[in-house]
Amino acid sequence: MPLQWDAWDAFPLLRWQGPEGIVAAFSGRRGGVSEGPYASLNLGLLTDDDRDAVRENRRRLCAAVGADPARTAQNHQVHGAVVREAAPLPGGFLDPHGDLPQADALVTREADLALVALAADCVPIVIAPLDGTAVAVVHAGWRGLVAGVVEAAVAALDVPCAAAVGPCAGPLAYAVGDDVAEPLRERFGSDAARGGTADLPHCAGRALLAAGLAPDAIDIAGICTITDAEGFFSHRRDQGVTGRQGVIAYRAGDA
């Protein structure tokens, strides 16, 4: 199967079996060292969690996927549609220095440069050309989906692609008002939001189709971060006091 759970050193990762040469995995909340509302694999340094704990959690994630923490890129996510060419974080992923650039998608054709997008109900997405020559990660909240961040990331790759949509707020639990439902329906169709809830994975899938991906090139996890309190952090469920999971992906270099 394209998306498979794989336990590494006592914590589970949802790995994507995408194009050859692409390493990609979605993390959950289990297997780290954080405590309290951030227990246990919190990756978010901008939370009120202990920074040393977050650094250790990030180290474990990189070790699980074979990524070098010094060769990792990340954005300051702002719910928009900006795509940025990735560059390694100053100071590395474990202890980055300075302000991160504002954007919600990262792309690279460099080998062994790991891209990270964090989320706690928003949609984490990995996109890669079918020939495995590049990779992109996307953080897509409802605003970013409406703004076109998914299509922008695919356009930046500019070749036929495959994609995986990770765990996020699900259609049975993501309650929204008309201010959210109407833009989603206008953008993605009447079934994007109905009965007082919105279907973010459906919208992400529609965006990928609109960007030119074939239906069989899109893998959707179908896991709700709001309802699975044991497995995932959720900003909505936990009223903002929570950690962050995410997606990490890179193009493996030649051995």
Q: Which residues of the chain have pLDDT under 50?
A: 255
Look at residues 69, 65, 165, 147 and name the one whose alpha carbon lies nearest to residue 103.
147
Structural contact between residues 39 and 49, judged by C-beta atoms closer than 8 angstroms: no
Q: The domain containing residue 69 runs over which residues?
A: 3-251
- pTM for this model (two decimals): 0.98
Domain count, the chain: 1
For 235, which DSSP code?
T
Residue 8: predicted pLDDT: 59
Give CA–CA dist 50/35, Å, rounded. Answer: 9
DSSP letter assigned to residue 164? E
Token pair listed for 144? 């970013």
Q: Which residues contact 242 (CB under 8 A, 6 or more apart)?
A: 37, 38, 47, 120, 233, 234, 235
> Given the structure tokens 């896991």, which residue do they identify?
223
CA distances from 146 to 18, 41, 157 (A): 26, 30, 20
pLDDT of res. 1:
56
CATH number for the domain spanning 187: value is 3.60.140.10
Q: What pLDDT, on the 0 to 100 scale, is given for residue 11? A: 74
Q: How far is the C-alpha of 1 from the C-alpha of 73, rounded, in Å?
A: 28
With a CB cutoff of 8 Å and minimum separation 6, the contacts of 46 are none
Sign of CA dihedral 215, 192, 77, 147: positive
pLDDT in tens, 86-124: 999 999 999 999 999 999 999 999 999 999 999 999 999
DSSP-derived secondary structure letter, 227: T
